[in-house]
Amino acid sequence: MESKSDYDCSICINTLVFPVKTSCGHLFCMKCMEKYLEQSPIQQCPMCRTKVKLEKLKVDKNVWKEVKDLFGDEIKERRKVVEEEIRKEKNIVKLKVRYGNKYELLKSFKTTKSGYENKHRWTVYVALGDKKVEAGSVIKSVEFKLDDSFGFTDIKKNFGPYEYACNGYGEFSIPIKITWQRWLKMEPATLDHPLKFEGKGSHKSFIVRVDKTLLEEKTGVKY
């Protein structure tokens, strides 16, 4: 690397601590990138939008050695803070929450009196990416707010599967509210999903951090 700034994280703008390198070649602090991807609905590099998978990010040992050799004293305190954070996270389970809409172009459909072919079927949904845990163990309810043209706008699901299916076509966004089980002591998650009528639909995700001991106690699932 040619200058000190080459060793800076593009998220926190500080010298890299436990650096990870994306497939597109950009460097970030491990914890900075983890937090960014956990809160981002689309898993992509914040610099160039190349797709990035959180689970595939590993500390680049060569770059980390260079950083310690060049800036060991400078990063000493930040390194201690990060190491303590890593230690505490050993008792944290990261649950992936997926949401979006499935899409299907129907082969068999009804034609309205006006001649409209109602052949588009979409399903808006919320689901857990972790198959070990039943969604209802952490999700109390999910609310979907539909466009006023439906005549009824609020769909509330108190039990899984947390989804709503409809035939029709229209480009609009669906606000989603996820209320968590009380034991999680978390504020509801509010999302907004624009329907997509092509391919298999559109899907996004985010991470919820849950205390491992408490999760195992409430679900009976061992991690």
pLDDT in tens, 170-182: 888 999 999 999 9
Amino acid at 141: S
Ranges of each domain in the chain: 4-74, 93-219
Whole-number Å distance between alpha carbons of 93 and 211: 6
Average pLDDT over residues 128-156: 89
**Where residue 155 falls among pLDDT bands split at 50, 70, 90?**
very high
Q: Measure the CA dihedral 5/10/13/17, to 10°.
A: -90
Put simply, whether the predicted model's pTM sits higher than 0.85 gets the answer no
Whole-number Å distance between alpha carbons of 189 and 175: 11
Tell me the average pLDDT of the chain: 91
Average pLDDT over residues 190-216: 93
Is the predicted pLDDT of residue 29 greater than 80, yes or no? yes
Class of domain 4-74: alpha beta
Length of the chain: 223
Residues 89-128: tens digit of each pLDDT = 889 999 999 999 999 998 877 776 666 667 899 999 999 9
Class of domain 93-219: mainly beta
Confidence (pLDDT) at 108? 78
Query: Minimum mean pLDDT among 34-48, 73-87, 208-222: which range?
Result: 34-48
Query: Minimum mean pLDDT among 70-84, 105-119, 150-164: which range?
Result: 105-119
